[in-house]
Chains A and B, each alone.
Chain A
Amino acid sequence: MRDTVITKDMIANPTSHYGNAKASTRHFITQRVTGAINIVFLGFLLFIVVRLAGQDRADIVGVLGAWWVGVPFAVLIGVVAVHMRNGMRDTLEDYMHGSVYRLAMLLNTLFCLLIALAGAGAVLKIVFWG
């Protein structure tokens, strides 16, 4: 969380360990695992949008309200939100530092949380309460 000036010596020295090895590896693995799962999400999305775009509420409840469609779709929206937050973190790290970065990262987390909660919430509402 602190800005350390990275010198040539630090980069050249293999024992200086700049960067966070554990967190960075977790970030890398998370992005790939969620990315692979997102292909399944896109399959669901294609089916749901093609079937329900422009349709009335009754049709949406009929298709999305089936638990074996709605529940996996709600979970997949959550996975997408994790991928979104991780990916936006990469972008923010490249262009921002210090307190500006931390503020941007906070907004990023809030937006992804909102997408996950509102998206999954809406789908689960349709599944369980019609």
Chain B
Amino acid sequence: MSVRARPTSPHLQIYRWTITMAMSIIHRATGIANYAGMALLVIWLGAAAFGQDALTSVNFIYGSWFGQLVLFGFTWSLAHHMLGGLRHFVWDFAVMMEPGQREALAWANLAASVVITLLIWTLFVWMV
């Protein structure tokens, strides 16, 4: 929140790569992806509000293989960011922070995000 210049830290490449560090970076990356992805939702809703012709165009683009690929990625991004947020809620109670625990939680976050995404697409897209 502070808008004063912050102290800078050594950059990424000097650190040994860890899963908690990777999940932290992915939490920010998925946050930014979701930020952009919200535009996709608003375009769809806007087209639906505007008229059938606009909606047909949006449905065509979102239904194309590339559109589906982006929406699949968006699903994973939302799932991962939600689970990352829940992980922060856990940490807010000052638990699961010890060595071993935090790595387990980070791996669980990654695994659960993939499982949830595949579950959603299997149940609601591929099996329909």
Chain A interface (Cβ within 8 Å of chain B)?
1-6, 11, 18-20, 23-24, 26-27, 32, 35-36, 38-39, 42, 45-46, 50, 53-57, 60-61, 64, 77, 80-81, 84, 87-89, 91, 93-94, 97-98, 101-102, 115, 118-119, 121-123, 125-126
Known: A87-B31, A89-B1. 14 other contacts (CB 8 A): A19-B2, A23-B1, A26-B1, A60-B55, A93-B1, A97-B6, A101-B3, A102-B3, A118-B42, A118-B46, A122-B42, A122-B46, A125-B49, A126-B49
Name the contact of B45 in the complex, choosing from A81, A97, A122 (C-beta under 8 A).
A122
Contacts of A77 in B (CB 8 A): 41-42
Q: SS class of chain B's interface: helix, strand, loop or mixed?
A: helix
B5 & A126 in contact (Cβ 8 Å cutoff): no
A4 & B5 in contact (Cβ 8 Å cutoff): yes
Contacts of B85 in A (CB 8 A): 35-36, 38-39
Q: Report the Cα distance A96→B82, complex, angstroms.
A: 26
Residue of B nearest to A92 (CB): B3
A-facing mask of B34-72, CB < 8 A → 1, else 0? 110011011001101111100100010011000000000
Contacts of A123 in B (CB 8 A): 45, 49
Contacts of A46 in B (CB 8 A): 120
Contacts of A87 in B (CB 8 A): 31, 35
Chain B interface (Cβ within 8 Å of chain A)?
1-7, 28, 31-32, 34-35, 38-39, 41-42, 45-46, 48-52, 55, 59, 62-63, 78, 82, 85, 88-89, 92, 120, 124
Q: Report the Cα distance A17→B6, complex, angstroms.
A: 14
Contacts of B38 in A (CB 8 A): 80-81, 84, 115, 119
